[in-house]
Every structure is written in structure tokens, then in C-alpha cells.
Structure 1
Amino acid sequence: MIHLRTRRDPVLDAAKGFLIILVVLGHLLARTDPSAAVATHALITGIYAFHMPAFVFLAGITSKPSGIGRRCAQFLTLLAVFQVAYFLAKHLLGSDESFPWVTPAWLLWFLLSMTFWTLLTPVIVRFPRASLALSVAVSLGAGMVDAVGYPFSLSRTLVFLPFFVAGFTHGRKVLARVAGLGLRGRAVVAGAALAVFAGLLTWSPDHNWFFGSKGFDVLEVSDLSGVAHRAVLTAGLLVLMPRKPTLLNRFGQRSLSIYLLHGFVVLLAAPYVLVMAKDNVWLAVVMLGFLTAGIAVLASMQPVHETIGRIGAICMPLVERLGGAAHASGTDSATAAVGSGDAASQRATVGAGSPHR
């Protein structure tokens, strides 16, 4: 297994680590009755308002237009393996659902979406400005077509596409500007993010609006405002991240394993979470916080992370023979999008109109 030597961005890793914590906590909270208590409703609103767009934006930053075949093969291999694993886990817990042949199981939609976005990177490199403008138009248009929904992760792929393209074309520049902000500038951005969050709580929107899988006819909203408030919240996240390595950085570098494995714990704990929330919602929130931390620590352990990498690399010999590729790693490519960022610094920064060299 070959590991590339690269320079990691501590802010980027910390942001990914914080977001993967929100993903786990959000999935646990969703197993309660979020609308039954102010605490859970506020947390769900705050988490789902921006965590996936921000995650996709960071995935765009760490993506690159080379080694596409290897990376797509890793995404699809992990999708196939965990599609079966989650299906079996649900049946062991009493589900009678049929196997979802065309719809990624639950959280696995991200792997299929990443495959589609990765395939687009050569086009984005060639036409960065046009790609960004077109991605916004496609995202808006996706909400107008009833046929766009869960199958093949099509709705989320199109709805979140602008965030991936923006991260790919402007992400490094955004990170550089955030790093250059003084205390006053960071305070302004953080204040704007808090104001947006307060506005969302006041509005109390339907949480389906945040999932990227429903059309405008169901949600009765405009995606333009969504792009704006998600951008502000993402900027607020970046300015609040620590500039020196912390435990969040480890979570960010190994977030692929956390992302893929935490769902099994969520499924197992779901009945107990609901009972706990009904008895004492505040105690439930605290306990879910501890459970989230435990999941992140265990799933980010090096042996676990390496095992996920090996699973993703099962098809690599075949891909290398077909594509003539000589360098592949079980974690360097797949986790660049979801977690480690090991290969992130290998690609040049993309400006608005300056393709990779």
C-alpha cells in the first residue's frame, strides 16, 4: 500500500472532523422525535441546515481530475459491499424490506454521488466558470422534475452539485482567505452564521428541505435562499475551526471509516434512543453526544481505517490492469473525498478560469 506524502491543511481536516461528528449526531438525533422537543428540533435544524453541503464543498476541495478510474472503482466497491452489509444488518434487526437495487441504502448515497461528481472533474477543470454556473442551474432545475428523486442518488447528486463544483474550483482560495482573516473578520463571519442559524430556528422549516431529495412542489421553497444560507453557515464553520491539530483532525483524516460504520450503531441503538428521548430529552441529547464521540474514536482507529481502505481496494488489481495504472492506495484516493485528504495537495489550486496544469 503506497501512501502519498502531502501537506495537510489543519483547518480543512478539522472542518471535516467536525462535520463527520455532526453527521453521526444528526443520524442519532433523527431516531428521536425531533419535533417533540425544542432541544432536538433546534439541533436537527442546525445540523441539517448545512452539514451535507459543507461536506460536499470540502469533498470538492480534496478531489482531483486524475486517477478517476481508481477512485470511482473504490467508491463503487465500497458502495456494493456496504449496500449488502446494511441490507443484512436491517434484516437481522427485523426489517422485511427488499434489496434496494437502484437506490443506495441510507447514507451510502454519498458514495454514488461522489462517483458521478468525480467523473465530472475533467470537464470542470476545462470549463470552471461555465461548470459552476451550469451546476447552479442544474441544481435549481432538479427540484422542478418529479422524476428526480432517491433512485441512483440522482436528486442529491444534482442538488448538491454546485457545492462540489465550488469547492473544486474555489475551495483552496476560500481556505486561504479564511486563514488570512483577523479576529474581527472571523467575528463578523461567525456572527453572520449565528444570525442565519437563529433565522432558521425562527422559521422552523420542514427538515425534508435540507435532505436534497425532495422537489420544490413538495417543499414549497426556493433553492436560491438555500445556497445563500448554506454558504454563510459553511464560512462560519471554517472561521471557527482551530488552526492547530486537534482530535478533530484525526476524525477528518479518517472520516470515511466513521461515515461508513456509524450507521450500524445507529440502527442498533435506534429503539433505545427513542425511549430515552421520551423519558428525558435533555439526558438523551447528552448521552447521544457521548455515543457520537465514542463512535468517532473507535471508527477512526488506525486498524479500522486501514480495513476500510483494503475493502475499497479489492478491485484495484483489475482496474490497474485495465487502465495501466501503477499507483493505487486503499485510502489515498477514496478518503481524499470523504476523509483523509492524503492526496488533496497533489492537485493544483483551481481558480475561476484557470485550469489545472
Structure 2
Amino acid sequence: MPFWDSARFACIVLVVLGHAIQRLTYDSDIAYALYLVVYAFHMPAFAIISGYFSKSDAPSRRQMARILTDILVPYVIFEMLWWLTKTLTEGASGPNLTQPSWTLWFLLALGIFRLVLPYLALLRWPLAWTVAVSVGVGYLPNVDSTFSLSRTLGFLPFFALGWWLRERDVVERLRLLERRPWWTRAGGLAVFAVAGWAAWAGLAGWDEMDLRNWLFYDNDYAHMIGSGAAPWWAGAVRLAIMAVALVLCAAFFALVPLRERSWTRLGAYTMYVYLLHSFVLYPFRQSGVLRGLDPTWLWLPLVCLLSVAIAVLLATRPVRRVFRPLIEPRPRWLFADPSLASRTDRRNDPTGSRRPHEEPRS
């Protein structure tokens, strides 16, 4: 079904877009409003998709090996690359694998999601438990960005929801991918129109409450509110943000085309875009060329188009051939049984894509 690859590619475009316009938000209210809308749902949607393609059965030896080869080994490789980049450009100190650099937090989150899912599946109300964990962890100041634990637990309900939808055959039973009434797209557009208006009209209030940091899920409530202790109502704010994310995710999925498009197949390679785009954007963000761009009506659309172009380029075959050893490593030396890292083994993108066939190796 091409729907899922289309949704994944649309998500990764939004990831690139959110990072690309971040510097513009300091000088443009329109860019800031767009940034808030994108960050309100794009990673929850990514987590839902990843959960949809995850299994809750006890993992086999090969599945456990894939957590190492597809997630943890690329994490170490790219952390070292980021350490080298920052050392050359900023004079950074030694590497610290406990603090993920920029986008790498999601790799750790995927690994933890996969590890805890079989245990969640044993519970009577797995979704309720993950929501309780997500809301409750915000009250704990000692749960922070170390190993991306705060973000991981914060986004866990969305991953669990994706798994639950597949486990209960909700999508199939409701035939959500077979037909789509005209009003679903109209409703999706209306939801985003309202979200855009709310982000724009309430910009002063969102800025005062530091909404962007709430959307990151990476700090405790006391830190975000700037108080010594988290107030009792802070958990309700996170619940409201999660509810908004669910509504926006539903609207987003309602707008994703059901049939294959020219860009659909690129959705099978979102990990390439995810891990490489930050290196492409890094010089632009650090050099300051994205600051003070005027007029906004010209530069914001150009940056949006540039984001799409970057996502398409990084998912193309030539880029994949060059960077496959880094993003899809096969460290046979790592395992007591080298066959667990066999190069003839069919690969799956760790964010959930199931490829119809394996590409020839370069």
C-alpha cells in the first residue's frame, strides 16, 4: 500500500522544513506560526507510522540484531561524525554518546520503543499506561535529555497508538485505505486552516508560555515554566498538546494520497534524509544566512521549496549508494554469529518501511 510510504515521505519533508525555517522564526511571525504547526504533529505522526509497522511478539535473534545494526550502530557512527564536525567548526569537547546530537535522539527513541513494546503488549490498557508515563515523566526533573529519555517517554503514546491500530486491524476494518469521502480532505484542510489561524492569532501567548519547548517533550515541567517545582496543572497542558497532535495527525493522514505518486517510493528511504539533512542545513544555520531575510513572503516559500528539494535529493539512489555503509552498516565482526549481519538479508527501514525487494549493492 503506497499510502504509508507517501505519509513517511511527507513526514520527513516536514522534518527538514521545520529545521530549515527555525532560524527564520526569530525574525518572522509567519515563519514562527508555521513552525509551531509543523512541530505540533510531525514527530507524533512519524512515531505513529513507526509503531504501525512494529511487532509486539518476543523478538527473534535476528530482530534483536537489527536493533543493533539498524539503530544503535548508525547512532554511534553519526554521533562521531557530529563530534568531528563540531570539533572542526566550534572547537567542541570530547564526544558524549549519552547526549544525542540534534536529530539523533529519534534513533535512540526507536530502539527504546522496540525494546519496551513486547512488555507494553502484555498490559490490559497499554495506551492508557503510555499516556500516564508521558504525562507523569514531566514532573520528574531527573529525567532529561540523557539518552533522549525524556523525549522518548513523551512520544511513547504515539508509537503505542500506531502499534495498537495495526494490532486491532482498525485501518483494515474501517477500510480507511480503500476509500476516502470528499469531506475527509476538506476536513483535513479545515483543521490545518484553524491550526494556522490559532498559531498566528495567539502568537504572543504561545511565545510567552514558550510553546515551542513544550512541543519538544524534552524538558520537565518546572524547567519549561521556570519555577522551582512543577505545578499540578502542568500535566493537563501536555495532555492538551497531545490531543492537538492527534487531531492534526488525523488531518495529515486524511490529506495523504491513497494511490502511488511519483515521490511515493522515496518514502522507503526516510532514514537517509533524516540522518543526512542536518549536515546539509548545518552550514546555513550556523553562518547566519537564514537570519534577517526580507521580505518573508518571498524567502519563506523559497526555504520551503528548498526543504522539499533536499529531501528528494537525499532519498535518491546515488546518495543512498554513497552513504549506505554509514546508514545501513553490516558489522559482521560485531556478532558471535556473523550471519546476523548478513549482507544478503532483506533490509527494512527502522522507521517502519517494508521494501518490496532489495536493491543491488554497490
TM-score band w.r.t. shorter chain: 0.7 to 0.9
For residues 64 and 90 of structure 1, what CA distance do their matches in structure 2 show? 37
Correspondence for 2:150 = 155
The aligned counterpart of 1:202 is 201
Tell me which residue corresponds to 1:211: 216
Q: Check the 8 A contact 1:28/1:273 in 2, yes or no.
A: no
Q: CA offset at residue 280 of structure 1? A: 3.5
Q: How far is the alpha carbon of 1:90 from its aligned partner?
A: 2.1
Q: SS of the residue aligned with 1:285?
A: helix
Given that 1:193 and 1:232 are in contact with CA atoms closer than 8 Å, whether structure 2 keeps it comes out as: no
Q: For residue 137 of structure 1, report the CA deviation from its aligned partner.
A: 0.6
Native 8 Å contact 2:270 2:315 kept in 1: yes
Do the aligned partners of 2:137 and 2:143 also contact (CA within 8 Å) in 1? yes
Is the contact between residue 306 and residue 331 of structure 1 (CA under 8 Å) also seen in structure 2? no
After superposition, residues 1-357 of structure 1 pair within 5 angstroms as 9-32=1-24, 34-65=25-56, 66=59, 67-73=62-68, 74-127=70-123, 129-171=124-166, 173=169, 175-176=171-172, 177=174, 178-179=176-177, 180-204=179-203, 205=206, 206-220=211-225, 221=234, 222-272=237-287, 274-275=289-290, 277-311=292-326, 312-316=328-332, 318-319=334-335, 321=337, 325=340, 332-333=347-348, 335-337=349-351, 340-342=353-355
Q: 1:275 to 1:15 in 2, by over 3 A?
A: closer
Q: How far apart, in 1, do the equivalents of 2:129 and 2:72 lie?
A: 26
CA separation of 1:135/1:279 partners in 2, compared to 1, >3 Å: closer, same or farther? same
> Aligned partners of 2:73 and 2:274: how far apart in 1?
15
Q: How many residues align?
A: 330
- Given the superposition, is the C-alpha separation of residues 169 and 155 from structure 1 closer, same or farther in structure 2, using an over 3 Å criterion? same
TM-score with structure 2 setting the length:
0.82
In the alignment, the residues of structure 2 paired with residue 328 and residue 114 of structure 1 have an alpha-carbon distance, to the nearest angstrom, of 22
Structure 1 vs Structure 2: percent identity of aligned residues?
29
Match in the other structure for 1:352: none
Once the two structures are superposed, residues 72-106 of structure 1 have per-residue CA deviations (whole angstroms, 9 ceiling, x without a partner) of 10200000000011111222223434422311111
Q: Kindly tell me: are residues 12 and 247 of structure 1, through their superposed partners in 2, closer, same or farther at Cα, counting changes over 3 Å? A: same
Distance 1:91 1:160 in 2: 31
Q: Distance in 2 between matches of 1:309 and 1:118?
A: 23
State the 1:307 CA deviation. Answer: 4.9
Q: How far, CA to CA, are the matches of 2:121 and 2:268 in structure 1?
A: 25
Aligned partners of 1:258 and 1:299 also within 8 Å: yes
Runs of 4+ in 1 over 6 A off after TM superposition: 326-331
Q: What RMSD in Å do the two structures reach over aligned CA positions?
A: 2.6
Cα distance per residue 1:195-233 (max 9 Å; x no partner): 344334333322111111022223344211111110010
In 1, the alpha carbon distance for the partners of 2:342 and 2:120 equals 24
Report the CA distance between 1:317 and its aligned residue: 5.7
Q: 1:257 to 1:342 in 2, by over 3 A?
A: same
Does structure 2 conserve the Cα–Cα contact (< 8 Å) formed by 1:45 and 1:201?
Answer: no
Q: 3-state DSSP class of the match of 1:163? A: helix
Matches of 1:15 and 1:106, distance apart in 2: 23
Taking structure 1 as the reference length, what is the TM-score of the superposition?
0.83
